Amino acid sequence: MPAPKGNLFAIGNNGGRPPEYEDPQKMADKLAEYLEYEDSLKRPDSYSGNGKGIYTLAGAALFLGFASRQSMYDYENKSKEFSYIINRFKLFLTHWNEQKMYWGGTFPAAQFWLKNWGGYSDESTQNVNQTITAKYGSDPIHTTQEPNKDTQGDK
């Protein structure tokens, strides 16, 4: 006797709920809807940067109907089309955060996002002057190392 429908052992039950999106274009349309939704919210200019929406990966995942960002990321492995859409959205967020670097008052948040999710990093090099004096007998020997100029930059 076969297991009753809905039972874990029923034939054809692959486990879990059905996928939220079967068509990549529907996901792309929903992401565009998310951007429009964020733009429509009334926020002070200083809060959102020139009155534009505030876009986040978590906000997009919620708007798409997922319970976690990881659920959205899992679609990257589903097909090239889904991967393209999600990577393009991440690229949009990187671009948006790069722009925020130039808006007043949003630099720290944009810098944080770019370092953690945008692929940027800080590099800092520090060279130190060293003078070593060794005394052998009555003649002191001086050794000095001259540094290169200190360099610091973003990559």
Q: Tell me the domain boundaries of the chain.
A: 24-123, 125-154
Q: What is the pTM of this model?
A: 0.59
The mean pLDDT of 33-44, rounded to a whole number, is: 84
pLDDT at 107: 72
Axis crossing angle, helix 80-100 with helix 107-116, rounded to the nearest 10: 150
pLDDT at 31: 95
pLDDT at 8: 56
pLDDT at 147: 55
In this model, does residue 119 exceed pLDDT 80? no
SS3 (DSSP) at 35: helix
pLDDT at 43: 67
In this model, does residue 62 exceed pLDDT 90? yes
In this model, does residue 74 exceed pLDDT 70? yes
Q: For residue 23, what are the CA distances in angstroms to 27, 64, 71, 82?
A: 7, 13, 16, 8
